[in-house]
Chain A
Amino acid sequence: MTRRLWLRGLRARLLAAFALVTMLGAAAAVWSSAGSASTALVTSYQQQLTQTIDEQIGAVTPQLTYPPDQDALDQLRAAVGTNTLVIYEDLRSVDGADTDLVTDELRSAVRAENRLATQRITVDGKPWLLVGTPIMITAPDGTRTPSGIEVYSVRDLTDVEREIDGLTMSAITTAALALPLSVLAASLAAGSVLRPVRELRDTAGRLAAGDLDARSPPQGADELAELTATINEMAESVQTSIAAMERMQADAKRFAADVSHELRTPLSTLTAVVEILADTTDEMEPDARESAQMAITETHRLVRLVEDLMEVSRFDAGTARLRVEEVDVVGAVRDSLRARGWLDRVELVAPEETLLRLDRRRLDVIVANLVGNALRHGEPPVRVHVSASSEQVWITVTDSGAGLPEHVLPHVFGRFYKADAARTRTPGSGLGLAIALENARLHGGDLTVDNIDRGGGGGARFVLRLPKDPEER
């Protein structure tokens, strides 16, 4: 995976493109230079050779008798040198075995055109140059007529060929030497492009991780510098709006905390005096008694609401602290149920004893909320099931009602969320499940909800998961 990623990275692609271009360029240069060099070499050799032959023949011909006899032909052949064939009608003068190489093609070319002709052939991997020329008779008036004597010479081109091969080899070597240089140049070029890209990536990463002060210094005036400037602007505006949002949120939270704090003093008075009212309702007229009872009920509701609001404020402010101690979860759950008189309304399925380090009060808050909800909104039997593994403990609270509607499930832990708009008057504050969830998270655990056996009419199921040691998160 990493290997494939690396191959697909910008650096690898740039390097590959540079190397390919260099190699193609070098190959083209080698091919064309070697081609033209070899052509030039062969041509000059050929010219030199034909000129020599021409001169040698020219030096001998004035002394020749015409029509020539065998001696004349031999003389001519000797003048030209080895590997030469001289023909006049049926007479032949031959020196050297390689003269067999003279082709009919060359001979007919010489005869047809009455002038010097050359041909290059390769026999058994050996290159040869064949030169054929007719000997012309120049009349006193200057006209030239063919004498019928033909001189053919065969020359070995191996040395020339070797020279050409040497040229090609050195060209290829030079090209090969250029390759590492081009890779180096490609690396430098890639680096200059990739460094700003990498910096931008790091900056974007830091921004994504929440470091809103992260910026990249723009360098130069190219497209990458423009991109850097744009990203910096974007980060700036994101930072500004997030700071504004955080300030507003903090203000709102502080306001809620302040309001609940301020409410506590009048509520302290009310709490103190409604008890006296409650003791004296028997002596009141019916209207007054009902009013007093309403005042008492609503005072208790208000106290509960303010307490829950303050609890939520502490979670928001991050000042909620865990007071962990070794607790038998099963015993603690049973105590929670017993303290509220729920033991005979709730079926507790649990192992003997499950020790856990947790905050006893917060566990009580969670259990009271979940079981209270199940008893209030669900159908009996309500079941509490405690189970444990070596690392976790699960407390599952289920009821046997119709369960929660699908669209409600994602919102049940929301603050003041009311599943049924018509049923707004419940004894709870509307913060119970939100607080239960926060308490679970404070322990490093979580709280989830679903319905058992969907379609089969199962009730709601809340699962509280707690790690065995909240300090080892």
Chain B
Amino acid sequence: MVAILLIEDDPLVRRGLELALHRHGHDVRTADTGEDGLREFHASAPDLVVLDLMLPGIDGFAVCRRIRAAGETPVIILTARGDDFDVIGGLEAGADDYVVKPAQPTVLDARIRAVLRRGTGTHGGVRVHRDLRIDTTALMVSLHGEQVRLTPTELRLLLTLSRAPGRVFSRQQLLEEVWEHSYIGDSRLVDNCVQRLRAKIEADPAVPEYVQTVRGFGYRFGPV
């Protein structure tokens, strides 16, 4: 059973989602403010946080940044459809995915499961590319022998790209493979995650070596 922390200020929405997610088999804890949410987060260490961005007190963006600062726990944000400010702000704060309100529990559940699947190991052995060492089974990444802490989404993106070094992946392909968005994914998820990944593994994120942009097509790993 997956432990989920749901931070949502409206009591009925909170209860409705709690009921629905519970029926999908999750162990749901709830909080009604950002402060409460962070307290609960540190107390219970959930597997995943579902976070409404519009919160009284400290807002969802700030909550998301603090959760990210504390570790690699995945965060799914709830946003208004087409509200670019919410989506961009949420992704920049480190969210792994977003679901548009009013959120259908089935969709939310699918996203939760997809995010959690990213954190499971594969059988690709250990890949070494110059200073970067990717252990696909233990899901450990190290640079110059030091461990790099990646969120499950960043890790899955790196695993996917490094599976076929030199091959170009379109944003749509990456959305399908990493985010499991079957259709009309938001390519900003990919761009944002690439940026965060580069900040962690590249010597100079402006001149990337490992995750390179192929203009007009997408991204590829290397050539290193």
Q: Which of A276, A303, A325, A361 contacts B102 (CB 8 A)?
A: A303
CB contact list, A388-403 vs B, under 8 A = none
Q: Which of B19, B102, B183, B184 contacts A267 (CB 8 A)?
A: B102
Contacts of B105 in A (CB 8 A): 271-272, 275
Say yes or no for A307: interface residue by CB 8 A criterion. Answer: yes
CB contact list, B77-101 vs A, under 8 A = 80-82, 84, 101
CB contact list, B33-80 vs A, under 8 A = 80
Contact A269:B16 (CB < 8 A) given known A264-B102, A310-B80: yes
Say yes or no for A360: interface residue by CB 8 A criterion. Answer: yes
Say yes or no for A376: interface residue by CB 8 A criterion. Answer: no
* Closest CB in chain B relative to A266 CB, distance in Å: 7
Contacts of A339 in B (CB 8 A): 182-184
Most chain B Cβ neighbours within 10 Å, of A264, A270, A272, A314: A272
Chain A, residue nearest B171 (CB):
A325
Q: Decide if B10 touches A269 in the complex (CB within 8 Å).
A: yes
Please measure, in the bound complex, the distance between the C-alpha atom of A266 and the C-alpha atom of B13, giving whole angstroms: 7
A interface, by DSSP: helix, strand, loop or mixed? Answer: helix
Q: Decide if B101 touches A320 in the complex (CB within 8 Å).
A: no
Q: Decide if A272 touches B184 in the complex (CB within 8 Å).
A: no
Say yes or no for A335: interface residue by CB 8 A criterion. Answer: yes
Contacts of B178 in A (CB 8 A): none
Say yes or no for B216: interface residue by CB 8 A criterion. Answer: yes
Contacts of B104 in A (CB 8 A): 271-272, 275
* Closest CB in chain A relative to B8 CB, distance in Å: 9
* Closest CB in chain A relative to B86 CB, distance in Å: 12
Say yes or no for A198: interface residue by CB 8 A criterion. Answer: no
Contacts of A248 in B (CB 8 A): none
Contact A276:B103 (CB < 8 A) given known A264-B80, A269-B13: no
Contact A265:B13 (CB < 8 A) given known A271-B103, A303-B102, A326-B216: yes
Q: Decide if A364 touches B82 in the complex (CB within 8 Å).
A: no
Contacts of A270 in B (CB 8 A): 16, 102
Q: Decide if A325 touches B101 in the complex (CB within 8 Å).
A: no
Q: Decide if B13 touches A272 in the complex (CB within 8 Å).
A: yes
Say yes or no for B188: interface residue by CB 8 A criterion. Answer: yes
Contacts of A104 in B (CB 8 A): none
A-B interface contact total, Cβ < 8 Å: 76
Please measure, in the bound complex, the distance between the C-alpha atom of A9 and the C-alpha atom of B103, giving whole angstroms: 68
* Closest CB in chain A relative to B185 CB, distance in Å: 9
CB contact list, A257-294 vs B, under 8 A = 261, 264-273, 275-276, 279
Say yes or no for B187: interface residue by CB 8 A criterion. Answer: yes
Say yes or no for B144: interface residue by CB 8 A criterion. Answer: no
Say yes or no for B115: interface residue by CB 8 A criterion. Answer: no
Q: Decide if B13 touches A310 in the complex (CB within 8 Å).
A: no
CB contact list, B1-45 vs A, under 8 A = 10, 12-13, 15-17, 19-20, 23
CB contact list, A290-338 vs B, under 8 A = 303, 307, 310-311, 314, 320-321, 323, 325-326, 335
Contact A273:B20 (CB < 8 A) given known A264-B80, A325-B171: yes
Please measure, in the bound complex, the distance between the C-alpha atom of A261 and the C-alpha atom of B105, giving whole angstroms: 20
Please measure, in the bound complex, the distance between the C-alpha atom of A264 and the C-alpha atom of B81, giving whole angstroms: 11
Say yes or no for B120: interface residue by CB 8 A criterion. Answer: no
Q: Decide if B102 touches A275 in the complex (CB within 8 Å).
A: no
Say yes or no for B106: interface residue by CB 8 A criterion. Answer: yes
Please measure, in the bound complex, the distance between the C-alpha atom of A434 and the C-alpha atom of B20, giving whole angstroms: 34
Please measure, in the bound complex, the distance between the C-alpha atom of A266 and the C-alpha atom of B16, giving whole angstroms: 10
* Closest CB in chain A relative to B55 CB, distance in Å: 13
CB contact list, B106-122 vs A, under 8 A = 106
Name 10 A/B residue pairs within 8 A (Cβ), A-sorted: A265-B13, A269-B12, A271-B16, A271-B102, A272-B19, A303-B102, A320-B82, A321-B84, A360-B187, A361-B184
Q: A269-B12, A269-B15, A335-B183 are in contact. List 4 more A-B contacts (CB 8 A).
A: A270-B102, A271-B16, A272-B102, A272-B103
Chain A interface (Cβ within 8 Å of chain B)? 261, 264-273, 275-276, 279, 303, 307, 310-311, 314, 320-321, 323, 325-326, 335, 339, 360-361, 364
